[in-house]
Amino acid sequence: MKVVLLKDVKGMGRAHESVEAKDGYALNFLIPKKLAIPATSAALKEAELRLRQTKERKEVDAKVLAGNIAALAEARIVVRAKANEKGHLYDAVGAREIAQAAKAEAHIDIPENALAIEKPFKEIGTFRVPVSSGETFGEFPITIEAE
């Protein structure tokens, strides 16, 4: 049975795609849980339109993010946190604090989930923060200072 997915379904496809599913799976799981609708001609046209809109929105978001990354590379982002005399922070600096500092100091909005830090920073110093969202990659420096 051919269906149009309304949401991303693991192992099947992404939202607004037309896929072939087994009849029982489509009728007993996908359609009742509002994950898909039967693929009528109207549903296929609507899905194509929504897929195109989603793709255009993602392209615009990627361009904005790339511009924000370039602007952050030029800006000086400073995060202030409490530290001991050896330079170790009492509380780690993570993606949330970095995103808030970027917005407060450089007036640049960067999503927390785009900051691809492996683990929070726990020391004073200057660090490179990688940014990754979709096919957009980059990095910018931050400085962590003691309060």
pLDDT digits (tens, 9 = 90+) for 7-52: 999 999 999 999 999 999 999 999 999 999 999 999 999 999 999 9
pTM confidence score: 0.68
Q: What is 63-146's CATH superfamily?
A: Ribosomal protein L9, C-terminal domain (3.10.430.100)
Instruction: Look up the CATH number of domain 2-56.
Output: 3.40.5.10
Beta bridge partners of 132: 137
pLDDT in tens, 112-129: 988 999 999 999 999 999
For the chain, where do the domains classified as CATH 3.40.5.10 start and end? 2-56
Tell me how far apart the alpha carbons of residues 120 and 91 are, in angstroms, rounded to a whole number: 9
User: What contacts 144, CB < 8 A, 6 or more positions away?
Assistant: 78, 79, 80, 81, 89, 93, 121, 123, 124, 125, 126, 127
